[in-house]
């Protein structure tokens, strides 16, 4: 029976298919049935036959049932409604497609298309039409619209109002439901990740602000990385730190050029000790001590103060310092005494260099004697060569960039000195340095001497329960000092006789005589050389006075022409005088 009905009704425009014995009509069948009954005055059977359904084959019951449904649908208003969700609003229909539809189908199709275009235009309101001076047409902009975002915006409005379900909205916009939910889950995941990243960045920015407030200056990206890790437990790359600092408009505080250089020298370059260090600054901890004097100023009137510092370049630790309004040898001695008081046990080892410039304060006899008594190897920079004391100069440059602006706010000398003392303490014990394994100078000395990286505890034993490096060295130094005292006592007994004293004085005088004799010989030799050159120069002047014009022109044109005339050969004997 199914096959016979399908063959009979297959060409009927209102026939869609069969479901068991039930006939499935097209969407516009009941509307056509209603028009036949109402407009043409036909009965249910006549209207059913007029639409191509033969009641003799199908039965009168089907005709009556179809007529009753058509009249009931017309009474409720649902007869002429076609669901827009049945049409893809993202695709425009041509006239041929529209002509094959009923008015109601056309209305539903246009409704779906309208909803799509309304949402598209709503989105395009927030998209600039001009980009980089180039005009974009509406068509090109529509092609670039995210279809999922478009339907999502539409769903947010329509579902909330209860006008359409999500599935209906997706159908009208031609979007697959699985693809839509996949896109939405990815979008939500990206939004959550972005929110988490923003929260983390805000936390990093707050940590950076706290670090800058703590230090009183803006560190560079490497030092900032160390502070973030040690003080705030934040591990972050250098590029991200640089990007965040740029976003916060934080510029690192950089050293400025110091014009106050080479102001104090001694009598003669040859009067100073040799440069024994030769820039070998990093021999080991407490193996090299650098020292220098720099100026700082405070207050509105820029009142000068002088700062002397003794500095270990290997650990970058300030060992001793002093501040005064006068640059005297007393300033250097106070800084030296502070260093020996706090770190003397660490420095009483053979082979420790103490390097300075040629300033008169450092070459003064009483200070030189201090260094000799304490066993330091004396080394002095060459004149006019600041690179020979480069780590010391670098420290002063960074220190000034950190505190000079704050010193200008100090009302008096006492406040300025307290500020310098606070900076030195913080520098040694709180200033984490990228090139010191992320440690402070004091911590790096502990690490260098023991090989133990500073931690709060070691296998359950607190750090405060262990000996400090200073205590360990002090204990070893006491034992060494006891042995040395015994040796000195024995040596003193041998030299305590009048004969021993005279012999010691004789050695000093003989050493001085040897030095003067060598100087006398050198002086006599140089005087002889200069007298010989003087006579040759007089002969050269006589030659030039009588020389022809072409000879003079040749000498002026090229230096090589001087070799042609023996009278001018003295110039090759003056090496080292220029």
| β-sheet bridge partners, residue 461 | 458
Tens of pLDDT along the chain (578 residues) come to 444 677 777 777 778 888 777 888 777 777 788 788 877 888 888 888 888 887 877 888 888 888 888 787 777 656 666 677 777 777 777 757 766 676 667 777 778 888 887 777 677 655 555 555 565 544 444 445 577 888 888 888 777 777 778 888 888 788 888 888 999 899 889 989 988 888 888 899 899 988 888 887 888 888 888 888 888 888 888 898 899 888 888 888 777 655 445 444 444 444 557 888 888 898 889 999 999 999 998 988 889 999 999 999 999 999 999 999 999 999 999 999 999 999 988 888 888 999 998 888 888 888 888 898 888 999 998 877 888 899 999 999 889 988 888 999 999 999 999 999 999 999 998 888 877 877 889 888 888 887 777 776 667 777 677 766 666 666 666 776 777 777 666 666 555 667 777 777 788 888 888 888 888 888 888 888 888 888 888 888 988 888 888 888 888 888 778 888 888 888 777 765 54
Q: What is the pLDDT of residues 257-303, one digit of tens each?
A: 554 454 444 444 445 578 888 888 988 899 999 999 999 989 888 89
Give domain limits for the chain: 2-81, 95-175, 192-247, 269-418+436-454, 471-521, 525-573
CB 346 within 8 A of CB 352: no
Listed as own residue / partner, the contacts of 306-311 with beta carbons closer than 8 Å and 24 or more positions apart are: 306/331, 307/420, 308/332, 308/334, 308/335, 308/361, 309/335, 309/392, 309/395, 309/396, 310/335, 310/336, 310/339, 311/391, 311/392, 311/395
pLDDT the model gives residue 296: 92
Look up residue 397 and give its two tokens: 């440059």
Closest CA to 360 of 270, 274, 267: 267
CA angle 339, 477, 458 (to 5 degrees): 90
d(CA 372, CA 402): 35
* Strands (DSSP E) found in 225-368: 288-298, 303-312, 317-324, 353-356
d(CA 190, CA 107): 39
Helix, strand or coil, per DSSP, at residue 566: helix
Choosing among 3.10.180.10, 3.30.420.10, 3.40.50.2020, 3.40.50.2300, the CATH entry for 269-418+436-454 is 3.30.420.10
- Helices marked H in 40-83 — which ranges? 44-50, 55-58, 60-76
CB 311 within 8 A of CB 436: no
CB 441 within 8 A of CB 447: no
Residue 528's contacts (CB-CB under 8 Å, 6 or more residues apart) are none
d(CA 67, CA 36): 10
Other CB atoms within 10 Å distance of the CB of residue 298 = 24
**What is the 8-class DSSP label of residue 27?**
T
Closest CA to 297 of 307, 282, 284: 307
pLDDT the model gives residue 55: 80
pLDDT the model gives residue 323: 95
pLDDT the model gives residue 460: 72
Closest CA to 402 of 430, 379, 382, 367: 430
CA angle 405, 408, 412 (to 5 degrees): 145
pLDDT the model gives residue 142: 46
H-run or E-run covering 207 = helix 177-215
d(CA 252, CA 223): 10
pLDDT the model gives residue 256: 65
d(CA 436, CA 468): 19
pLDDT the model gives residue 129: 52
């Amino acid at each position: 029976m199914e096959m016979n009905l399908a063959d009979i009704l297959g060409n009927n425009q209102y026939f869609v298919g069969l479901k068991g014995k039930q006939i499935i009509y097209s969407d516009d069948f009941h509307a056509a049935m209603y028009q036949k009954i109402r407009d043409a005055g036909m009965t249910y059977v006549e209207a059913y036959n007029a639409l191509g359904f033969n009641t003799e084959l199908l039965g009168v019951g089907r005709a009556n049932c179809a007529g009753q449904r058509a009249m009931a649908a017309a009474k409720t208003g649902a007869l002429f409604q076609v669901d827009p969700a049945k049409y893809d609003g993202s695709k425009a229909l041509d006239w041929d497609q529209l002509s094959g539809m009923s008015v109601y189908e056309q209305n539903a199709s246009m409704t779906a298309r309208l909803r799509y275009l309304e949402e598209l235009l709503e989105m395009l309101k927030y998209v600039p039409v001009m980009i980089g001076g180039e005009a974009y047409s509406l068509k090109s902009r529509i092609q670039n619209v995210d279809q999922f975002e478009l339907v999502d915006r539409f769903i947010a409005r329509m579902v909330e109002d209860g006008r359409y379900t999500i599935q209906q909205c997706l159908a009208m916009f031609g979007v697959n439901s699985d693809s839509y939910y996949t896109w939405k889950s990815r979008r939500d995941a990206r939004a959550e990740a972005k929110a988490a990243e923003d929260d983390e960045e805000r936390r990093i920015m707050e940590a950076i602000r706290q670090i800058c407030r703590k230090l009183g200056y803006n560190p560079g990206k490497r030092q900032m990385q160390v502070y973030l890790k040690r003080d705030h437990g934040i591990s972050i790359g250098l590029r991200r730190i640089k990007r965040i600092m740029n976003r916060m408009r934080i510029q690192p505080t950089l050293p400025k050029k110091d014009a106050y250089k080479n102001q104090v020298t001694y009598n003669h370059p040859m009067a100073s000790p040799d440069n024994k260090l030769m820039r070998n600054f990093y021999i080991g901890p407490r193996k090299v001590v650098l020292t220098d004097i720099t100026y700082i100023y405070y207050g509105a009137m820029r009142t000068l103060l002088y700062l002397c510092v003794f500095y270990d370049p290997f650990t970058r630790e300030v060992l001793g310092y002093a501040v005064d309004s006068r640059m005297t040898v007393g300033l250097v001695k106070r800084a030296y005494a502070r260093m020996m008081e706090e770190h003397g046990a660490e420095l009483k080892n053979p082979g420790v260099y103490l390097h300075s410039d040629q300033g008169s304060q450092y070459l003064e006899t009483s200070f030189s004697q201090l260094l000799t008594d304490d066993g330091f190897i004396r080394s002095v920079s060459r004149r006019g060569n600041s690179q020979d004391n480069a780590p010391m100069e670098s420290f002063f440059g960074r220190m000034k960039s950190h505190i000079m602006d704050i010193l200008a706010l100090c009302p008096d000398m006492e406040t300025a000195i307290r500020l310098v003392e606070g900076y030195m303490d913080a520098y040694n014990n709180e200033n984490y340095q990228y090139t010191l394994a992320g440690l402070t100078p004091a911590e790096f000395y502990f690490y260098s001497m023991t090989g133990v990286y500073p931690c709060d505890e070691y296998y359950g034993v607190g750090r405060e329960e262990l000996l400090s490096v200073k205590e360990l060295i002090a204990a070893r130094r006491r034992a060494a000092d006891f042995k040395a005292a015994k040796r000195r006592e024995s040596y003193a007994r041998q030299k305590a006789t009048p004969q021993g004293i005279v012999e010691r004085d004789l050695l000093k005088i003989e050493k001085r005589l040897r030095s003067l004799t060598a100087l006398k010989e050198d002086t006599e030799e140089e005087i002889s050389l200069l007298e010989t050159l003087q006579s040759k120069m007089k002969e050269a002047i006589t030659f030039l006075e009588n020389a022809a014009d072409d000879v003079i022109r040749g000498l002026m044109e090229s230096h090589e022409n001087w070799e042609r005339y023996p009278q001018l050969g003295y110039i090759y004997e003056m090496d080292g005088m220029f």
